[in-house]
Amino acid sequence: MRDGVILALMTSVLWGVTPVLDKLGMEKASAGAVMAVRFTTTFVCILPLLLMPGLRSEIFQLEARTLAYIVGAAILSAIFGLYLYFAAIKRMEATQVVPICATYPLITFLMGVLFLQEHLTWTKAAGTVLAVAGVILISL
């Protein structure tokens, strides 16, 4: 678990730096242009992984349902979500956009309870409410 926390904190640092770079990149570029550059860069960086025989065979062995979930998540998050994020960050300050976007734990909490049969506990509910409240306070 400790390793997971360290990895999550490292992710937080990377995700915390990214909006600053996004905002700087959006000064003279549209959301579509930024997305095109981002996805091209990601593809070039990921391409070596796709050439690894073990990973490639794993991908080709994925069940259709699993693949549909992964593709659906990519379309919702990486395409629509990222486009809307870029459009928002073009119009507002990064310090306003990011906290608003960070209210997604509430959605995840509700979806997890409703669709994944995850346990509803008072600590999870209180933590989610406090996290969202903190995000709202930051964005004021």
Domain span at 51: 2-92
- Spell out the alpha helix ranges (H) of 92-121: 94-101, 104-115
Evaluate whether 101 touches 85 at the Cβ level (below 8 Å): yes
**CA dist., res. 100 & res. 85, Å (int):** 10
Q: Are residue 88 and residue 106 in the same domain, yes or no?
A: no
Over the stretch 84-122, which tens digit does the pLDDT of each residue have? Answer: 999 999 999 888 888 888 888 788 888 888 999 988 888
| Number of folded domains that form the chain | 2
Q: Are residue 65 and residue 106 in the same domain, yes or no?
A: no
Q: Are residue 110 and residue 86 in the same domain, yes or no?
A: no
User: pTM of this prediction?
Assistant: 0.77
| pLDDT surpassing 80 at residue 140 | no
Q: Are residue 36 and residue 83 in the same domain, yes or no?
A: yes
- Whether 75 maps to a domain, the answer reads yes
**CA dist., res. 88 & res. 98, Å (int):** 9
Over the stretch 35-82, which tens digit does the pLDDT of each residue have? Answer: 999 999 999 999 888 888 888 889 889 999 999 999 999 999 989 999
Q: Are residue 77 and residue 44 in the same domain, yes or no?
A: yes
- Whether 97 maps to a domain, the answer reads no
Q: Are residue 77 and residue 108 in the same domain, yes or no?
A: no
Evaluate whether 135 touches 100 at the Cβ level (below 8 Å): yes
